[in-house]
Structure 1
Amino acid sequence: MKKRFLAAGASVAAAAMVLTACTPPGGGDDEKSSEKSSINIGWNESFRSMNTLTANGNAVSNAILTYMMNDNFKHYDDKLELQDGSLGSVEQVSEDPLKVKYTFNDDAKWSDGTPVDAADLALTWAGQSANFNTVEQNNADDGSVKENDAKTVYFDAATAGSALIKDFPEVSDDGKEVTFSYSKPFVDWETELGTGADGVGVPAHIVAKKALGIDDPAEGKQAILDALKDKDTEKLSKISNTWNTGFDFTSMPKDEDLLVHTGPYKMTDFKEGQYVTLELDDQYSGPVKPKVDTVTVRYNGDPMAMIQAIENGEVDMTQPQATADVLSAAEDLDGVTVDAADGATYEHVDFTFDNKGPFDPEANGGDEEKAKKVRQAFLKTVPREDIVEKIIKPLNEEAVTRDSYSQVPGSPMYDAVTKENGVADATDVDVEAAKKLLKEAGADAPKVRIMYDNTNSRRQQEFQLIKESAEKAGFKIEDVGDVNWGTRLGDGTYDVSLFGWQSEGTGVTENDANFRTGAQNNYGGYSSKKTDKILDKLLVSKEDEQEKLLTDLESQLSEDAFGAPIFQFPELTIYRDKVKNVSSTSVSPTMFWNYWEWETN
């Protein structure tokens, strides 16, 4: 699996400012007198972490910036074709057993001059493998990660691919080569480590400095490798604490160690909830050569305010939450290009299975079948067609409901998977059938708490449509919408959630993160031995097996009434004519994928 990024809408209250109230360095047309080029970009959610591998850091708002600040081994272009990055090479050196070797380029260095090497990638593997964890979870009541004591180790991430790497890797004497051995075949080995915005993760020598008090970078790297090789619980406890939260910040940190990076841009200013400024780093020695000197990302959760900022020349590029009003307003602007397309993000409705709520067997006398009937009843009230007709079709006349958990409409396997997966049947609105299911379950007017971003106009409309339909069947709907919805995922304070997933890549094992028992993105606590077995098979599948396995997976999700996909997000990329070479890809980091090609005039 490669994780999926949370795709936020308007979700930061602090960002709801008037853009003209605070113009950051490098902003606006009044800067034309400067010899250095600059671009201002509008975004809807603020940066919060340099570590995009953790549950908290796993957000597009972080990835778009870490992608520009860090080099990688692989990345996707706008045709979803995998391209070589600038850190080095990745190759399969053995098929049985599967062995994958990473070779770092000689000029791959952190911004403080420390080489990028095996210790960095080994730490990333350890952090997302869960193989070093001594506890399954370590979360506080509010869902945040608690600090490990000296006897516990918990890295707040997990991927199925890294979990298959059980043994400490082979490391060359100079640290420039590292070879990982998989315990089983793994279909997505090429993108498991070092891809996209993640790069090689956070710097091992800085982690050693913060966690172990080792100032010398070489000694620190070796200490990280030794702790992993020896499975030193006391040291790994400290290392995991730093890895989990040590690189989180919401304004410009005083500690410059937190800003150490491998790529061409460095962070030079960050005003909380307002803007982040990146500038070219003159110490960068790698091959990526951006044409723009300064990139400032400015935050505002109101998409119409972003259109106003484009018109005023305060913002040059943006991908706001798409609505019919936003599209119409953008199309009315002179000197502005609007590219409309389907994005990779899809909206979905998820149930919570483990909070003693209406969909949890524990609230139904321990009877799983009764709980399932309540879930099935709710799905029979979700007006997916109505949502698409009223909210999405004004943006895209060809829009349809998305009937697959894993496939984008129009993709090669979509028709075959959706023909057999049962999603459309499970979600065919039928209020009378819903009432009958509730009666069979003995559920009298069950109260359902729905959590969503209540500052997002599209989700407000979705919530109302679902509420009206569900109440006709006898459900009592409680609005527990929250601007900080992302921090509440998995905390048990809601029964249904509405949000979007955006993929980081195209691998079939991405599904693992959402549906496997205990997986990182399985916020609802869903657990199925049958589903886990199908996911196990997908991890080692060959190309000609994948369509059948994905169909089996989705059929099982429908059988279990896991939830439902609703629609594919419409995506608007809006930019002023002064910016050249803008394009977007339908995986994270969207329009930032080719930042080095941007030009201004």
Structure 2
Amino acid sequence: MKDQEIRGLIADVKEGTLSRRSFIQKMAAVGIAAPIASQILVWNDVAMANATLEYKPTKAGGGGPLKILLWQAPTLLNPHFASGTKDQIASRIFYEPLAGWDKEGNLIPCLAAEVPTKANGGLSADGLSVTWKLKPGVKWHDGKPFTADDVVFTWEYAKEPATAAYTTGSYTNIKVEKVDDLTVKVIFQQPTPFWADPFVGTVGQILPKHRFGDYVGAKSREAPDNLKPIGTGPYKFVDFKPGDVLTGERNPDYHIKNQPAFDTLEVKGGGDAVSAARAVLQTGEYDYAWNLQVEDEVLKRMETGGRGKVSTVPSGDIEFIILNPTDPWTEVDGERSSVKTKHPTLSDPKVREAINLLIDRDSVQKFIYGRGGIATASFVNEPKQFKSTKLKYEFNIDKANKILDEAGWKKGSDGIREKDGKKLKYVFQTSINAPRQKTQAIIKQACQRAGIDLELKSVTASVFFSSDVANPDTYTKLYVDMEMYTTTQPQPDPERFLNQFVSWEIANKENKWLGRNVSRYSDPAADEAYKAAQKELDPAKRAALLIKVNEIFCEANIILPLLSRTRVAAAANNVMHDHSGWDVDTWNIAAWYRS
């Protein structure tokens, strides 16, 4: 479709002769994914709806209790320390961003009065700034007013290196100015095509200055509100037992009329995905269960119970394996897997290439995940214009054996390959979850046929995804040879998602292992392409640069993508929920109600 044709369709939407849904369908027909089609409308100053869930209650409260299961239990409630999705979900109940993402990739205002556009003066023509108008009359849970000072403070808090915020990458290279009490201006160092990152979605939750002002920098972990939040959200904090249960109550001063519908909220953590699914779909003990990483056939059987339903939404999430290029068994300056070391065998690119050939992705999809994932060789899969067409996967044990033979890795008497006294023996780590353990077993069996020995390690999910800097088994520590998990794409644009592949985001002791680059791998070409993409205003050129970053890491076989994940949840039949693949599950929890 030519640019002129697209502009014509946009004009039709503005005039009301073409519906927004019809526009998105026409874009999809020519290969432009729904999230990007929706963003095209935003960029061209077309007004968006304020919600995706039709909210029917005529008053706040009266809905009784809402009970949610997160089988990976939350351990903290500060969103800027939340490296695990479970902690991000829990934090979002109390803290809110200026805007969030709905299931179609639309930007929906929350603490902002409106989404910035060129028409309303929010977006500068040169791409160097965005001005946010804040919603008036919003109060923190302790009654203090929410103002521009809180937004500016959140920037100062997150960008401070000593704070060691997980979100620091979104705030380091910007400047935020207070225009007045209800207006802030975000200034970029260079033209910025994707401006909807700071203060938006998962990374954008605003902290109250009057509560965190004394805890910027080195004292950041000492703030009482890290576990007892005072936010602006629809529910007020009641109690929290980390790793167990979180409770809240309806915020009577919530800034959206007639919301929330439920009187109390309980978020129960722990257990496993199967028991979580059963508690919603079969027993009806809970109203909602998140992230049902359960064999699809099991979910289908549970749905016959009639108490609940499974819902799936597209997302940019990816289940993948990291092959550690550093040495996880040697400590340097108080940390293992230091960038100052090299892995004794995985530093050989031929070994990594062989392991990639030993992953039967098609079987993992067919026999384990079903609706939950699609086999892929690309780290980025959605939206489609950001997916590499170059990356392909193959399952070929014979080819893997040949590569290792030619690279000089010979099988010993025990059947394990070795060279120069070093054996291809690895610890392969993931979280405790039935599909992941079955995936591990499939990969282990194939590796054995190629002379590679895998010791399978499974860690309780609440520990594996914990932000606890003292825990050696967190996924960000990478104190093993290889590990597998899902990482979530927090918005329908992969720029921030791909900062997991830049050198300045490497997880280490200095940043309390909250750097986004868990693999420790870096490549100057990837850094260069990423930086260029951050200022490239031409959409096609920018997409090509981001695809290059993706391809560098995948072709190096440091990152081994397995499945493009759909987000799978379960809800009671009478619970109307708003499940987005581009934000956390609680992004619009204020609008949930019981029918």
Q: State the identity %.
A: 18
**Match of residue 44 from structure 1:** 71
Give the Å deviation of 1:127: 3.8
**Match of residue 22 from structure 2:** none
Q: Paired residue for 2:185, among 179, 186, 195?
A: 179
User: Is 1:192 aligned to 2:197, yes or no?
Assistant: yes
**Match of residue 401 from structure 1:** 375
Q: Paired residue for 2:327, among 347, 350, 355?
A: 355
Give the Å deviation of 1:525: 0.7
**Distance in 2 (alpha carbons) for counterparts of 1:403 and 1:276:** 38
**Match of residue 204 from structure 1:** 209
User: Structure 1 counterpart of 2:481, which letter?
Assistant: D
Q: Per the alignment, do residues 570 and 551 of structure 1 end up closer, same or farther by CA in structure 2, a change over 3 Å counting?
A: closer
User: Structure 2 counterpart of 1:502, which letter?
Assistant: T
Give the Å deviation of 1:448: 1.4
Aligned positions of 1:19-34 closer than 5 A = none
Q: Which runs of 5 or more residues in structure 2 are unaligned?
A: 1-60, 117-121, 331-336, 410-417, 467-473, 506-514
**Match of residue 78 from structure 1:** 103
User: Structure 2 counterpart of 1:88, which letter?
Assistant: A
User: Is 1:485 aligned to 2:464, yes or no?
Assistant: yes
Aligned positions of 1:495-510 closer than 5 A = 495-510=481-496
CA contact (8 A) 2:316 2:381 kept: no
Give the Å deviation of 1:294: 1.8
CA contact (8 A) 2:532 2:545 kept: yes
**Distance in 2 (alpha carbons) for counterparts of 1:82 and 1:335:** 32
**Match of residue 546 from structure 1:** 542
**Distance in 2 (alpha carbons) for counterparts of 1:374 and 1:178:** 51
Task: Indicate the SS of the match to 1:439.
Answer: coil
CA contact (8 A) 1:349 1:566 kept: yes
Q: Paired residue for 1:301, among 265, 271, 275?
A: 271
154-163 vs 517-526, which moves further:
154-163
CA contact (8 A) 2:96 2:206 kept: no
**Match of residue 526 from structure 2:** 531
CA contact (8 A) 1:51 1:201 kept: no
User: Is 1:424 aligned to 2:393, yes or no?
Assistant: yes
User: Structure 1 counterpart of 2:206, which letter?
Assistant: G
CA contact (8 A) 2:99 2:110 kept: yes
User: Is 1:516 aligned to 2:541, yes or no?
Assistant: no
Q: Per the alignment, do residues 287 and 352 of structure 1 end up closer, same or farther by CA in structure 2, a change over 3 Å counting?
A: farther
CA contact (8 A) 2:408 2:419 kept: yes
Give the Å deviation of 1:464: 1.1
Q: Per the alignment, do residues 511 and 589 of structure 1 end up closer, same or farther by CA in structure 2, a change over 3 Å counting?
A: closer
Q: Per the alignment, do residues 438 and 482 of structure 1 end up closer, same or farther by CA in structure 2, a change over 3 Å counting?
A: farther
432-441 vs 196-205, which moves further:
432-441
199-208 vs 496-505, which moves further:
199-208
Q: Paired residue for 2:132, among 78, 97, 102?
A: 102
Give the Å deviation of 1:100: 2.1
User: Is 1:433 aligned to 2:433, yes or no?
Assistant: no
Task: Indicate the SS of the match to 1:315.
Answer: coil
Give the Å deviation of 1:551: 3.0
Q: Per the alignment, do residues 158 and 52 of structure 1 end up closer, same or farther by CA in structure 2, a change over 3 Å counting?
A: closer
Q: Paired residue for 1:261, among 231, 240, 248?
A: 231
Give the Å deviation of 1:363: 4.7
Q: Paired residue for 2:317, among 341, 345, 352?
A: 345
Q: Per the alignment, do residues 512 and 334 of structure 1 end up closer, same or farther by CA in structure 2, a change over 3 Å counting?
A: closer
Q: Per the alignment, do residues 64 and 287 of structure 1 end up closer, same or farther by CA in structure 2, a change over 3 Å counting?
A: farther
**Match of residue 586 from structure 1:** 581
Give the Å deviation of 1:240: 1.5
Q: Per the alignment, do residues 530 and 244 of structure 1 end up closer, same or farther by CA in structure 2, a change over 3 Å counting?
A: farther
**Match of residue 316 from structure 1:** 287
**Distance in 2 (alpha carbons) for counterparts of 1:405 and 1:373:** 20
CA deviations 1:312-338 (Å, max 9, x no partner) are: 332122233221353133222124333
CA deviations 1:177-196 (Å, max 9, x no partner) are: 3223211112221x222223
**Match of residue 556 from structure 1:** 552
Q: Paired residue for 1:329, among 277, 301, 318?
A: 301
Q: Per the alignment, do residues 262 and 288 of structure 1 end up closer, same or farther by CA in structure 2, a change over 3 Å counting?
A: farther
Give the Å deviation of 1:387: 2.0
Q: Per the alignment, do residues 248 and 205 of structure 1 end up closer, same or farther by CA in structure 2, a change over 3 Å counting?
A: closer
Q: Per the alignment, do residues 204 and 402 of structure 1 end up closer, same or farther by CA in structure 2, a change over 3 Å counting?
A: same
**Distance in 2 (alpha carbons) for counterparts of 1:48 and 1:70:** 16
Task: Indicate the SS of the match to 1:333.
Answer: coil
Give the Å deviation of 1:459: 0.9
**Distance in 2 (alpha carbons) for counterparts of 1:493 and 1:555:** 25
Q: Paired residue for 1:124, among 130, 149, 154?
A: 154
Between the two proteins, the alignment pairs up a number of residues equal to: 492
TM-score (norm 2): 0.75
Q: Per the alignment, do residues 460 and 293 of structure 1 end up closer, same or farther by CA in structure 2, a change over 3 Å counting?
A: same
CA deviations 1:503-547 (Å, max 9, x no partner) are: 221123123331001312211211110110011111112212133
Task: Indicate the SS of the match to 2:69.
Answer: strand
User: Is 1:371 aligned to 2:362, yes or no?
Assistant: no
User: Structure 1 counterpart of 2:97, which letter?
Assistant: N
TM-score (norm 1): 0.74
User: Structure 2 counterpart of 1:503, which letter?
Assistant: Q
Task: Indicate the SS of the match to 2:261.
Answer: coil
Give the Å deviation of 1:342: 4.8
CA contact (8 A) 2:139 2:253 kept: no
CA deviations 1:103-162 (Å, max 9, x no partner) are: 323312212222223332223323443xx43xxxxxxxxxxxxxxxxxxx3533355452
User: Is 1:447 aligned to 2:425, yes or no?
Assistant: yes
User: Is 1:162 aligned to 2:171, yes or no?
Assistant: yes
CA deviations 1:392-450 (Å, max 9, x no partner) are: 23x57xx6412211123xx4326xx4322x3426x755332342354279465322121
**Distance in 2 (alpha carbons) for counterparts of 1:492 and 1:322:** 25
Give the Å deviation of 1:596: 2.9
Q: Per the alignment, do residues 187 and 127 of structure 1 end up closer, same or farther by CA in structure 2, a change over 3 Å counting?
A: farther
CA contact (8 A) 2:151 2:207 kept: no
**Distance in 2 (alpha carbons) for counterparts of 1:307 and 1:345:** 20
Q: Per the alignment, do residues 96 and 597 of structure 1 end up closer, same or farther by CA in structure 2, a change over 3 Å counting?
A: closer
CA contact (8 A) 2:63 2:593 kept: no
Give the Å deviation of 1:341: 4.9
Q: Per the alignment, do residues 157 and 340 of structure 1 end up closer, same or farther by CA in structure 2, a change over 3 Å counting?
A: closer
CA deviations 1:330-364 (Å, max 9, x no partner) are: 22212433334555432101122222669999557
Q: Per the alignment, do residues 280 and 498 of structure 1 end up closer, same or farther by CA in structure 2, a change over 3 Å counting?
A: same
**Distance in 1 (alpha carbons) for counterparts of 2:173 and 2:251:** 37
User: Structure 1 counterpart of 2:210, which letter?
Assistant: H
CA deviations 1:7-27 (Å, max 9, x no partner) are: xxxxxxxxxxxxxxxxxxxxx
CA deviations 1:378-398 (Å, max 9, x no partner) are: 2222222332232123x57xx
CA contact (8 A) 2:166 2:516 kept: no
Task: Indicate the SS of the match to 2:499.
Answer: helix
Q: Paired residue for 1:573, among 557, 569, 575?
A: 569
CA contact (8 A) 2:327 2:343 kept: no
**Distance in 2 (alpha carbons) for counterparts of 1:466 and 1:70:** 40
265-274 vs 290-299, which moves further:
265-274
**Match of residue 36 from structure 2:** none
Task: Indicate the SS of the match to 2:496.
Answer: helix
User: Is 1:88 aligned to 2:113, yes or no?
Assistant: yes
Where relative contact order (Cα < 8 A, 6+ residues apart) is larger, the structure is 1
**Match of residue 68 from structure 1:** 93
Task: Calculate the aligned-residue CA RMSD, in Å.
Answer: 3.1
